Amino acid sequence: MRITRLDAIEVLDSRGNPTVEAWLQLEDGSEGSAITPAGASTGANEAAELRDEDPTRYGGRGVQKAVEQVRGEMAGALVGKDPGDQSTLDLLLCELDGTPNKARLGANAILAVSIAYARACAHSLQVPLYRHLGGDDAVVLPVPCLNVINGGRHADNTVDFQEYKIVPHHATSFAESIRMGEEVFHALKKLLQAHGLSTGVGDEGGFAPNLHSNEQAIELILEAITAAGYRPGDDVSLALDPATSEMWHHGRYRFFKSNQSERTSAAMIDLWDDWLQRYPIVLLEDPLAENDWEGWAQITQQLGGQVELVGDDIFCTNPDLLQRGIREGVANAILIKPNQIGTVTETMECAAQAKAAGYGCYVSHRSGETEDTFIADLAVALGCGHIKTGSGCRGERTAKFNRLLRIEHELGERARFAGRAAFVR
């Protein structure tokens, strides 16, 4: 099926920054579109966004250059051609770019085209996107991990760690799980109000109060779980993304918000060990920094049998970095973010590589999100069992939840909910 049209425009993400929207048409009239998200705490080895760097527009963050790459060079190479399948299309885009990190054409432009093509092909075949990508076995709905308290770079408060998440895993369906999560979210809001704490939200929709300590965030969430009528650890557990690469300075971890202290890698591992003993935590994402490979190997050896240890910044959805991690015994799961690598095919190949090695896969949004719901379909296509896409509010976050609710309804009796078993230990 030949591509007959490829276009793009500059649109806005959830932080009001520009990003790329592309849309593509096939010769049978089938169309697909996609909008690329953007991260704030980004890994050093992520695929490169193409920004204009023009200080007179959007503070230099405009994406007109990336848009022109879609309209110009990419359209010139693709329009009138029949790529045949997703992997061929994505290979053409990578070869056209010609750089290791997609810096010439921009991963933000390439990914939008890649996803748009996947959607157009799904429409042409008259199948849902998750089935087009994952086949007939794509029936597992993920456990939503809701980011309910924000800190770090996602909020201007006194909390060092970036994401405190609730995990409503003791449910029979995604619909029941998201109901549980929202009930805890609203119970937490009432609890914060009762304590005279702010209920303003951060970039991902979680609350961002000034707290006495990083532990207080945990204690408030546990209180909210109980107030909502659930049992901490049995019905609803916790997951954390402290984003420690943001805390890494000259080989030590600096607590730059709460108490201005510093810790070694060994001390950080001891901190997480202590928290695992005291709190019902099922997942730790980026408990150590992206360059702390020795520390990662140690924490995996010491704690990997107790909790899912997810590598985000250290892996960047990159097969080469993941292979090093597998070889060196680093982490037991990987975060999957399509814009870290830049194409649908590379994203899915990285997930397949992780699964083959016994690693878990955890599909994720970005802090600069859009109304695009691609990751919801991706989570079902991969059967990964859990997803993070923000808190219980903000439309760009709930759009993913609503898409998953629709997928579950569409699957009917075939739908399966991953539950507690989704978390690697």
Gap between the Cα atoms of 76 and 250, Å rounded: 47
Would the annotation count 306 as a binding residue? no
Catalytic pick among 165, 257, 337, 400: 337
Q: Is 182 a catalytic residue?
A: no
Gap between the Cα atoms of 62 and 336, Å rounded: 26
Q: Is 400 a catalytic residue?
A: no
Would the annotation count 154 as a binding residue? yes
Please, what's the b/e burial string for 386-412 (b: 16 or more CB within 10 A of its CB; e: otherwise)? bbbbbbbbbebbbbbbebbbebbeebe
Contact 340, 366 (CB under 8 A): no
Would the annotation count 131 as a binding residue? no
Would the annotation count 162 as a binding residue? yes
Would the annotation count 165 as a binding residue? no
Pairing mode, strands 236-241 and 163-168: antiparallel
Gap between the Cα atoms of 245 and 290, Å rounded: 6
CA 174 vs CA 141, 163, 240, 378: distances in Å: 6, 22, 21, 15
Contact 44, 315 (CB under 8 A): no
Would the annotation count 312 as a binding residue? yes
Would the annotation count 366 as a binding residue? yes
Would the annotation count 364 as a binding residue? yes
- 358: region left, alpha or beta (phi > 0 left; psi from -120 to 50 alpha): left
Catalytic pick among 10, 49, 204, 246: 204
Would the annotation count 81 as a binding residue? no
State both tokens at 270: 């001891």
CA 62 vs CA 20, 52, 54, 278, 371: distances in Å: 10, 5, 7, 46, 19
State both tokens at 376: 């919801």
DSSP 352-394: HHHHHTT-EEEEE--SB--S--HHHHHHHHHT-SEEE---S-S
Would the annotation count 285 as a binding residue? yes
- Long-range (24+ apart) CB contacts under 8 A made by 395-403 are 395/371, 396/13, 396/14, 396/369, 396/370, 396/371, 397/204, 397/205, 397/365, 397/369, 399/371, 399/372, 399/373, 400/365, 400/373, 400/375, 400/376, 401/144, 401/178, 401/376, 402/373, 403/373, 403/376, 403/377
User: What is the set of active-site residues?
Assistant: 204, 337
Annotated binding site: 154, 162-163, 241, 285, 312, 337, 364-367, 388
Could you list the residues known to form a binding site for (2R)-2-phosphoglycerate, using ranges: 162, 337, 366-367, 388
Binding residue ranges for substrate:
154, 163, 285, 312, 364-367, 388
Which residue numbers belong to the known binding site for Mg(2+)?
241, 285, 312
